[in-house]
Chain A
Amino acid sequence: MEHALDITLTVNGVQVSRRVAPRTHLVDFLRDELGLTGSHIGCEHGVCGACTLRVNGAIVRGCLMLAVQADGCKVDTIEGLSDSGELKDLQKAFHEKNALQCGFCTPGMLMAAQDLVLKNQKPTRDEIREHISGNYCRCTGYQAIVDAIEDVIQTKVTHGKG
Protein backbone atom coordinates (compact mmCIF):
# COMPACT_ATOMS: atom_id res chain seq x y z
CA MET A 1 0.00 0.00 0.00
CA GLU A 2 3.03 2.19 0.18
CA HIS A 3 3.84 5.00 -2.20
CA ALA A 4 7.55 4.33 -1.69
CA LEU A 5 9.06 0.90 -1.23
CA ASP A 6 12.45 -0.48 -0.33
CA ILE A 7 13.87 -2.85 -2.90
CA THR A 8 17.03 -4.90 -3.11
CA LEU A 9 18.21 -6.34 -6.37
CA THR A 10 21.41 -7.50 -8.00
CA VAL A 11 22.43 -5.35 -10.94
CA ASN A 12 25.33 -6.63 -13.04
CA GLY A 13 26.49 -8.74 -10.12
CA VAL A 14 26.34 -5.94 -7.56
CA GLN A 15 23.68 -5.89 -4.86
CA VAL A 16 21.87 -2.54 -4.60
CA SER A 17 19.17 -1.33 -2.20
CA ARG A 18 17.08 1.76 -2.82
CA ARG A 19 13.74 3.30 -1.91
CA VAL A 20 11.62 3.76 -5.02
CA ALA A 21 8.22 5.05 -6.02
CA PRO A 22 6.06 2.26 -7.50
CA ARG A 23 5.56 4.31 -10.68
CA THR A 24 9.30 4.20 -11.47
CA HIS A 25 10.08 1.91 -14.39
CA LEU A 26 12.99 -0.44 -14.10
CA VAL A 27 14.84 1.28 -16.96
CA ASP A 28 14.36 4.74 -15.38
CA PHE A 29 15.62 3.33 -12.09
CA LEU A 30 18.74 1.94 -13.77
CA ARG A 31 19.42 5.13 -15.70
CA ASP A 32 18.51 7.76 -13.11
CA GLU A 33 19.34 6.05 -9.82
CA LEU A 34 22.29 3.93 -10.86
CA GLY A 35 23.60 5.96 -13.81
CA LEU A 36 23.45 2.97 -16.15
CA THR A 37 22.43 4.88 -19.27
CA GLY A 38 23.34 2.14 -21.77
CA SER A 39 19.74 0.92 -21.83
CA HIS A 40 17.97 3.46 -23.98
CA ILE A 41 14.48 4.85 -23.66
CA GLY A 42 12.69 5.16 -26.97
CA CYS A 43 8.94 4.77 -27.02
CA GLU A 44 8.17 4.02 -23.34
CA HIS A 45 5.32 1.73 -24.29
CA GLY A 46 6.98 -1.50 -25.26
CA VAL A 47 7.24 -1.05 -29.01
CA CYS A 48 10.87 -0.20 -29.80
CA GLY A 49 12.91 -2.55 -27.60
CA ALA A 50 15.72 -0.02 -27.01
CA CYS A 51 15.38 -0.61 -23.24
CA THR A 52 15.80 -4.41 -23.44
CA LEU A 53 17.28 -5.85 -20.22
CA ARG A 54 17.81 -9.30 -18.78
CA VAL A 55 15.90 -10.13 -15.61
CA ASN A 56 16.61 -13.51 -14.02
CA GLY A 57 18.12 -14.61 -17.32
CA ALA A 58 15.16 -13.65 -19.56
CA ILE A 59 15.09 -10.57 -21.77
CA VAL A 60 12.37 -8.05 -20.90
CA ARG A 61 11.28 -4.54 -21.75
CA GLY A 62 12.73 -2.17 -19.15
CA CYS A 63 9.88 0.28 -19.72
CA LEU A 64 7.19 -2.38 -19.14
CA MET A 65 8.43 -3.48 -15.76
CA LEU A 66 8.30 -1.48 -12.56
CA ALA A 67 11.43 -1.18 -10.45
CA VAL A 68 9.45 -2.59 -7.48
CA GLN A 69 8.74 -5.71 -9.53
CA ALA A 70 12.49 -6.32 -9.80
CA ASP A 71 12.82 -6.63 -6.02
CA GLY A 72 14.92 -9.72 -5.35
CA CYS A 73 15.75 -10.17 -9.03
CA LYS A 74 19.02 -10.48 -10.87
CA VAL A 75 19.16 -7.74 -13.49
CA ASP A 76 21.76 -7.57 -16.27
CA THR A 77 22.18 -4.54 -18.49
CA ILE A 78 24.20 -3.87 -21.60
CA GLU A 79 26.98 -2.47 -19.38
CA GLY A 80 27.20 -5.73 -17.41
CA LEU A 81 27.22 -7.95 -20.49
CA SER A 82 29.79 -5.74 -22.16
CA ASP A 83 32.12 -5.55 -19.14
CA SER A 84 31.98 -9.29 -18.51
CA GLY A 85 33.03 -10.00 -22.10
CA GLU A 86 29.84 -11.98 -22.76
CA LEU A 87 29.06 -9.79 -25.75
CA LYS A 88 32.52 -9.58 -27.26
CA ASP A 89 31.79 -11.73 -30.32
CA LEU A 90 28.61 -9.82 -31.13
CA GLN A 91 30.31 -6.47 -30.53
CA LYS A 92 33.15 -7.43 -32.87
CA ALA A 93 30.69 -8.63 -35.55
CA PHE A 94 28.53 -5.51 -35.23
CA HIS A 95 31.69 -3.42 -35.62
CA GLU A 96 33.02 -5.37 -38.60
CA LYS A 97 29.68 -5.50 -40.43
CA ASN A 98 28.88 -1.87 -39.59
CA ALA A 99 25.66 -3.15 -38.06
CA LEU A 100 24.83 -0.01 -36.14
CA GLN A 101 22.50 1.99 -38.40
CA CYS A 102 21.69 5.12 -36.36
CA GLY A 103 22.88 3.32 -33.22
CA PHE A 104 20.00 4.13 -30.91
CA CYS A 105 18.64 0.57 -30.96
CA THR A 106 22.09 -1.05 -30.65
CA PRO A 107 22.10 -1.83 -26.89
CA GLY A 108 18.66 -3.45 -27.15
CA MET A 109 19.62 -5.21 -30.39
CA LEU A 110 22.69 -6.70 -28.73
CA MET A 111 20.64 -7.88 -25.74
CA ALA A 112 18.06 -9.54 -28.03
CA ALA A 113 20.80 -10.98 -30.26
CA GLN A 114 22.67 -12.46 -27.29
CA ASP A 115 19.42 -14.07 -26.14
CA LEU A 116 19.27 -15.85 -29.50
CA VAL A 117 22.98 -16.77 -29.40
CA LEU A 118 22.45 -18.38 -25.97
CA LYS A 119 19.64 -20.56 -27.31
CA ASN A 120 22.31 -22.60 -29.11
CA GLN A 121 20.15 -23.19 -32.15
CA LYS A 122 20.90 -22.71 -35.81
CA PRO A 123 18.34 -20.07 -36.81
CA THR A 124 17.65 -19.13 -40.40
CA ARG A 125 17.88 -15.47 -41.42
CA ASP A 126 14.09 -15.30 -41.13
CA GLU A 127 14.24 -16.66 -37.61
CA ILE A 128 16.92 -14.11 -36.71
CA ARG A 129 14.63 -11.38 -38.04
CA GLU A 130 11.77 -12.82 -36.03
CA HIS A 131 13.84 -12.75 -32.87
CA ILE A 132 14.85 -9.11 -33.29
CA SER A 133 11.40 -8.08 -34.55
CA GLY A 134 10.71 -6.47 -31.19
CA ASN A 135 13.69 -4.16 -31.60
CA TYR A 136 12.83 -2.50 -34.88
CA CYS A 137 12.83 1.25 -34.61
CA ARG A 138 12.87 4.09 -37.16
CA CYS A 139 15.62 2.79 -39.48
CA THR A 140 14.79 0.08 -41.99
CA GLY A 141 16.54 -2.90 -43.50
CA TYR A 142 18.56 -4.30 -40.59
CA GLN A 143 20.49 -6.36 -43.16
CA ALA A 144 23.88 -5.70 -41.58
CA ILE A 145 22.50 -6.50 -38.14
CA VAL A 146 21.16 -9.84 -39.39
CA ASP A 147 24.55 -10.44 -41.09
CA ALA A 148 26.39 -9.80 -37.82
CA ILE A 149 24.15 -12.06 -35.73
CA GLU A 150 24.27 -14.79 -38.37
CA ASP A 151 28.06 -14.54 -38.47
CA VAL A 152 28.41 -14.97 -34.69
CA ILE A 153 26.02 -17.91 -34.55
CA GLN A 154 27.64 -19.64 -37.53
CA THR A 155 31.12 -19.22 -36.08
CA LYS A 156 29.90 -20.56 -32.75
CA VAL A 157 28.29 -23.59 -34.40
CA THR A 158 31.27 -24.30 -36.69
CA HIS A 159 33.87 -23.99 -33.94
CA GLY A 160 31.69 -25.38 -31.19
CA LYS A 161 32.46 -22.41 -29.02
CA GLY A 162 30.43 -21.37 -26.00
Chain B
Amino acid sequence: MKAPSFAYAKPRSLPEALQLLERPGSKVLAGGQSLIPTLNMRLSSPELLVDITGLPGFSDIDSSEKTVRIGALTTHAQIEASAEIAQQVPLLAAAVKHVAHPAIRNRGTLGGSLALADPAAEYPAVALALQATIVIASGKGERRVKAEDFFKGLFETDLKANEILVAVEFPTGGRSAFFELARRQGDYAIIGLAAHESRFVFFNAGPTPVLAKNASKEKSLDKAKEALKKDLDPPADLYNSSATKLHLAGVLLERAWNTLSTSR
Protein backbone atom coordinates (compact mmCIF):
# COMPACT_ATOMS: atom_id res chain seq x y z
CA MET B 1 0.00 0.00 0.00
CA LYS B 2 0.98 3.63 -0.34
CA ALA B 3 1.27 6.17 2.46
CA PRO B 4 -1.48 8.74 2.88
CA SER B 5 -0.70 12.35 1.97
CA PHE B 6 1.28 14.45 4.44
CA ALA B 7 3.39 17.58 4.50
CA TYR B 8 7.14 17.40 5.03
CA ALA B 9 9.71 19.70 6.57
CA LYS B 10 13.42 19.24 7.15
CA PRO B 11 14.55 21.71 9.83
CA ARG B 12 18.23 22.60 10.10
CA SER B 13 18.30 23.39 13.81
CA LEU B 14 16.83 21.95 17.01
CA PRO B 15 14.78 25.09 17.89
CA GLU B 16 13.29 25.06 14.39
CA ALA B 17 12.42 21.36 14.72
CA LEU B 18 10.82 21.87 18.14
CA GLN B 19 8.76 24.75 16.79
CA LEU B 20 7.45 22.58 13.95
CA LEU B 21 6.50 19.87 16.44
CA GLU B 22 4.14 22.31 18.17
CA ARG B 23 1.82 21.98 15.19
CA PRO B 24 -1.03 19.54 15.69
CA GLY B 25 -0.66 16.28 13.78
CA SER B 26 3.12 16.59 13.45
CA LYS B 27 5.43 13.63 13.93
CA VAL B 28 9.19 13.16 14.07
CA LEU B 29 10.78 11.26 11.17
CA ALA B 30 14.27 9.91 11.83
CA GLY B 31 15.51 6.80 9.97
CA GLY B 32 11.94 5.93 9.09
CA GLN B 33 12.45 2.18 9.24
CA SER B 34 9.42 1.68 11.49
CA LEU B 35 7.44 4.85 10.79
CA ILE B 36 7.37 4.47 7.01
CA PRO B 37 5.98 0.90 7.14
CA THR B 38 3.20 2.11 9.44
CA LEU B 39 2.47 4.94 6.97
CA ASN B 40 2.50 2.48 4.06
CA MET B 41 0.06 0.25 5.89
CA ARG B 42 -1.95 3.33 6.89
CA LEU B 43 -1.68 2.51 10.56
CA SER B 44 -0.70 6.10 11.16
CA SER B 45 -1.59 9.30 9.30
CA PRO B 46 0.35 12.33 10.51
CA GLU B 47 -0.30 15.70 8.89
CA LEU B 48 3.30 16.80 8.99
CA LEU B 49 6.53 14.80 9.12
CA VAL B 50 9.40 16.67 10.72
CA ASP B 51 12.53 15.05 9.29
CA ILE B 52 15.21 15.53 11.95
CA THR B 53 18.02 13.86 10.00
CA GLY B 54 19.39 17.28 9.04
CA LEU B 55 20.01 18.34 12.65
CA PRO B 56 23.73 18.84 13.27
CA GLY B 57 25.58 16.83 15.92
CA PHE B 58 22.86 14.24 16.45
CA SER B 59 24.99 11.28 15.42
CA ASP B 60 28.00 11.98 17.60
CA ILE B 61 29.49 9.31 19.82
CA ASP B 62 31.26 10.89 22.82
CA SER B 63 32.90 8.79 25.45
CA SER B 64 34.10 9.84 28.86
CA GLU B 65 35.45 7.66 31.65
CA LYS B 66 32.09 6.49 32.93
CA THR B 67 29.63 6.98 30.09
CA VAL B 68 29.30 6.87 26.36
CA ARG B 69 26.83 9.40 24.99
CA ILE B 70 25.39 8.37 21.65
CA GLY B 71 23.41 10.81 19.51
CA ALA B 72 19.86 9.81 18.68
CA LEU B 73 20.46 9.78 14.92
CA THR B 74 23.35 7.32 15.14
CA THR B 75 22.38 4.47 12.83
CA HIS B 76 22.55 0.78 13.68
CA ALA B 77 25.33 0.49 11.08
CA GLN B 78 27.34 3.23 12.82
CA ILE B 79 26.86 1.53 16.17
CA GLU B 80 27.97 -1.76 14.62
CA ALA B 81 31.09 -0.13 13.16
CA SER B 82 32.11 1.80 16.29
CA ALA B 83 35.22 0.47 18.02
CA GLU B 84 34.43 2.75 20.96
CA ILE B 85 31.02 1.16 21.50
CA ALA B 86 32.40 -2.36 21.06
CA GLN B 87 34.93 -1.69 23.78
CA GLN B 88 32.92 0.41 26.20
CA VAL B 89 29.32 -0.70 25.74
CA PRO B 90 29.73 -4.31 24.56
CA LEU B 91 26.08 -5.13 25.36
CA LEU B 92 24.91 -2.61 22.77
CA ALA B 93 27.48 -3.87 20.28
CA ALA B 94 26.22 -7.44 20.78
CA ALA B 95 22.59 -6.37 20.42
CA VAL B 96 23.01 -4.46 17.17
CA LYS B 97 23.94 -7.62 15.30
CA HIS B 98 20.37 -8.82 15.85
CA VAL B 99 18.70 -5.62 14.65
CA ALA B 100 17.00 -6.30 11.30
CA HIS B 101 19.10 -6.59 8.13
CA PRO B 102 22.03 -4.62 6.61
CA ALA B 103 19.85 -2.40 4.40
CA ILE B 104 17.70 -1.44 7.38
CA ARG B 105 20.67 -1.03 9.72
CA ASN B 106 22.02 1.60 7.31
CA ARG B 107 19.07 3.91 8.03
CA GLY B 108 17.41 2.90 11.31
CA THR B 109 18.54 4.90 14.34
CA LEU B 110 19.15 4.40 18.06
CA GLY B 111 16.79 7.22 19.02
CA GLY B 112 14.08 6.01 16.67
CA SER B 113 14.12 2.52 18.13
CA LEU B 114 13.91 3.80 21.71
CA ALA B 115 11.22 6.38 20.92
CA LEU B 116 9.08 3.74 19.23
CA ALA B 117 9.58 1.25 22.10
CA ASP B 118 8.60 -1.85 20.18
CA PRO B 119 8.37 -4.61 22.81
CA ALA B 120 10.33 -6.95 20.52
CA ALA B 121 13.15 -4.48 19.89
CA GLU B 122 16.66 -4.92 21.26
CA TYR B 123 17.71 -1.40 22.32
CA PRO B 124 15.00 -0.74 24.93
CA ALA B 125 16.09 -3.90 26.77
CA VAL B 126 19.75 -2.89 26.51
CA ALA B 127 18.95 0.59 27.84
CA LEU B 128 17.05 -0.87 30.78
CA ALA B 129 19.71 -3.49 31.57
CA LEU B 130 22.46 -0.85 31.56
CA GLN B 131 20.34 1.73 33.38
CA ALA B 132 20.97 4.20 30.59
CA THR B 133 19.81 7.81 30.67
CA ILE B 134 17.65 9.18 27.86
CA VAL B 135 18.24 12.85 27.03
CA ILE B 136 15.15 14.68 25.76
CA ALA B 137 14.78 18.21 24.37
CA SER B 138 11.70 20.41 24.22
CA GLY B 139 10.98 24.13 23.93
CA LYS B 140 11.48 24.33 27.69
CA GLY B 141 14.98 22.93 27.58
CA GLU B 142 16.55 19.55 28.20
CA ARG B 143 15.49 16.83 30.61
CA ARG B 144 16.99 13.48 31.46
CA VAL B 145 15.00 10.34 32.10
CA LYS B 146 16.23 7.01 33.44
CA ALA B 147 15.45 4.06 31.20
CA GLU B 148 13.35 2.48 33.97
CA ASP B 149 11.06 5.53 33.91
CA PHE B 150 11.07 5.93 30.13
CA PHE B 151 9.24 2.81 28.95
CA LYS B 152 5.62 3.16 30.02
CA GLY B 153 3.66 0.59 28.04
CA LEU B 154 3.14 -0.98 24.64
CA PHE B 155 4.75 1.47 22.17
CA GLU B 156 4.37 4.07 24.91
CA THR B 157 7.19 6.14 26.40
CA ASP B 158 7.68 9.21 28.55
CA LEU B 159 8.35 11.21 25.37
CA LYS B 160 5.74 13.92 24.66
CA ALA B 161 4.55 14.82 21.16
CA ASN B 162 6.49 18.10 21.19
CA GLU B 163 9.74 16.60 22.44
CA ILE B 164 12.72 15.12 20.63
CA LEU B 165 14.95 12.35 21.92
CA VAL B 166 18.43 13.85 21.63
CA ALA B 167 20.88 11.24 22.90
CA VAL B 168 21.36 8.26 25.18
CA GLU B 169 24.02 7.94 27.85
CA PHE B 170 25.21 4.42 28.50
CA PRO B 171 27.36 3.66 31.52
CA THR B 172 30.53 1.78 30.66
CA GLY B 173 32.09 -1.28 32.23
CA GLY B 174 30.74 -4.44 33.80
CA ARG B 175 30.07 -7.88 32.41
CA SER B 176 27.24 -8.37 29.98
CA ALA B 177 25.63 -10.95 27.73
CA PHE B 178 23.05 -10.74 24.96
CA PHE B 179 20.96 -13.57 23.54
CA GLU B 180 18.02 -13.60 21.18
CA LEU B 181 15.95 -16.34 19.60
CA ALA B 182 14.35 -15.58 16.24
CA ARG B 183 12.96 -17.71 13.42
CA ARG B 184 15.35 -16.11 10.97
CA GLN B 185 18.39 -13.82 11.32
CA GLY B 186 17.17 -10.24 11.69
CA ASP B 187 13.53 -11.10 12.40
CA TYR B 188 11.79 -9.83 15.49
CA ALA B 189 12.72 -11.88 18.52
CA ILE B 190 10.57 -14.73 19.80
CA ILE B 191 12.19 -13.77 23.06
CA GLY B 192 15.47 -12.11 23.95
CA LEU B 193 17.65 -11.28 26.92
CA ALA B 194 19.95 -8.37 27.66
CA ALA B 195 21.96 -9.09 30.80
CA HIS B 196 24.30 -6.78 32.63
CA GLU B 197 25.94 -7.89 35.87
CA SER B 198 23.00 -9.28 37.82
CA ARG B 199 20.27 -7.47 35.87
CA PHE B 200 18.36 -9.72 33.51
CA VAL B 201 16.08 -7.83 31.12
CA PHE B 202 13.87 -9.77 28.72
CA PHE B 203 12.28 -8.39 25.55
CA ASN B 204 9.19 -9.52 23.68
CA ALA B 205 8.20 -10.87 27.07
CA GLY B 206 5.61 -8.19 27.85
CA PRO B 207 4.43 -4.75 26.69
CA THR B 208 7.77 -3.16 27.68
CA PRO B 209 11.21 -4.64 28.34
CA VAL B 210 10.88 -6.63 31.56
CA LEU B 211 13.47 -6.60 34.33
CA ALA B 212 13.31 -10.04 35.92
CA LYS B 213 13.47 -8.69 39.48
CA ASN B 214 13.31 -11.98 41.35
CA ALA B 215 15.64 -13.91 39.05
CA SER B 216 18.12 -11.02 39.13
CA LYS B 217 18.42 -11.39 42.94
CA GLU B 218 19.16 -15.12 43.01
CA LYS B 219 22.63 -16.51 43.60
CA SER B 220 22.19 -19.88 41.87
CA LEU B 221 21.07 -20.66 38.33
CA ASP B 222 18.41 -23.16 39.43
CA LYS B 223 16.80 -20.69 41.80
CA ALA B 224 17.00 -17.91 39.22
CA LYS B 225 15.27 -20.08 36.63
CA GLU B 226 12.58 -20.95 39.15
CA ALA B 227 12.15 -17.28 40.06
CA LEU B 228 11.63 -16.43 36.39
CA LYS B 229 8.13 -17.89 36.64
CA LYS B 230 7.24 -15.08 39.04
CA ASP B 231 8.88 -12.42 36.88
CA LEU B 232 7.52 -13.19 33.44
CA ASP B 233 4.15 -13.82 31.88
CA PRO B 234 5.06 -13.50 28.20
CA PRO B 235 2.19 -13.01 25.75
CA ALA B 236 1.71 -15.78 23.18
CA ASP B 237 2.31 -14.97 19.52
CA LEU B 238 1.25 -16.68 16.28
CA TYR B 239 3.83 -19.41 16.68
CA ASN B 240 4.69 -19.68 20.34
CA SER B 241 2.54 -20.13 23.41
CA SER B 242 3.22 -18.23 26.60
CA ALA B 243 4.56 -21.46 28.15
CA THR B 244 6.99 -21.97 25.26
CA LYS B 245 8.27 -18.42 25.58
CA LEU B 246 8.70 -18.81 29.33
CA HIS B 247 10.65 -22.03 28.73
CA LEU B 248 12.82 -20.26 26.14
CA ALA B 249 13.40 -17.39 28.58
CA GLY B 250 14.86 -19.98 30.97
CA VAL B 251 17.10 -21.32 28.21
CA LEU B 252 18.43 -17.80 27.53
CA LEU B 253 18.86 -17.14 31.23
CA GLU B 254 21.01 -20.26 31.52
CA ARG B 255 23.13 -19.23 28.53
CA ALA B 256 23.62 -15.73 29.93
CA TRP B 257 24.33 -17.06 33.43
CA ASN B 258 27.05 -19.36 32.07
CA THR B 259 28.52 -16.61 29.92
CA LEU B 260 28.60 -14.10 32.77
CA SER B 261 30.05 -16.53 35.29
CA THR B 262 32.89 -17.54 32.98
CA SER B 263 33.76 -14.06 31.72
CA ARG B 264 36.00 -11.68 33.59
Contacts and interface: CB of A to CB of B under 8 A. Distances in A.
Interface of A: 1-3, 5, 21-23, 25, 28, 44-46, 49, 52, 58-61, 63-66, 68-69, 112, 115, 129-131, 133-136
Interface in B11-55: 32-33, 36-37, 39-41, 48-49, 51, 53
B3 to A, nearest CB: 4
Given A45-B40, A63-B36, A69-B53, A112 B102 contact: yes
Given A45-B40, A64-B32, A129-B185, A23 B5 contact: yes
B7 A1 contact: yes
B185 A133 contact: yes
B107 to A, nearest CB: 5
B249 to A, nearest CB: 24
Given A45-B37, A49-B103, A58-B107, 8 more contacts: A23-B4, A23-B5, A45-B41, A59-B102, A61-B103, A61-B107, A66-B8, A134-B103
B94 interface: no
B27 to A, nearest CB: 12
Contacts of A58: 77, 106-107
Contacts, number: 91
Interface size class of B (residues with CB under 8 A): 20 to 34
Contacts of A22: 5-8, 49
A59 B106 contact: yes
Given A23-B4, A45-B40, A133-B185, A64 B102 contact: no
Contact of A68 (B8, B77, B100): B8
B122 to A, nearest CB: 16
B8 A46 contact: no
Contacts of B8: 1-2, 5, 22, 66, 68
Contacts of B2: 23, 25, 28, 44
B186 interface: yes
9 shortest interchain CB distances as A-B pairs: A134-B101, A22-B8, A45-B37, A58-B106, A133-B185, A23-B3, A59-B103, A64-B36, A133-B186
A134 B53 contact: no
Nearest to B186: A133
17 contacts: A1-B8, A1-B48, A22-B8, A22-B49, A23-B3, A25-B36, A44-B2, A46-B36, A46-B104, A61-B33, A61-B107, A63-B40, A66-B36, A68-B8, A134-B100, A135-B101, A136-B184
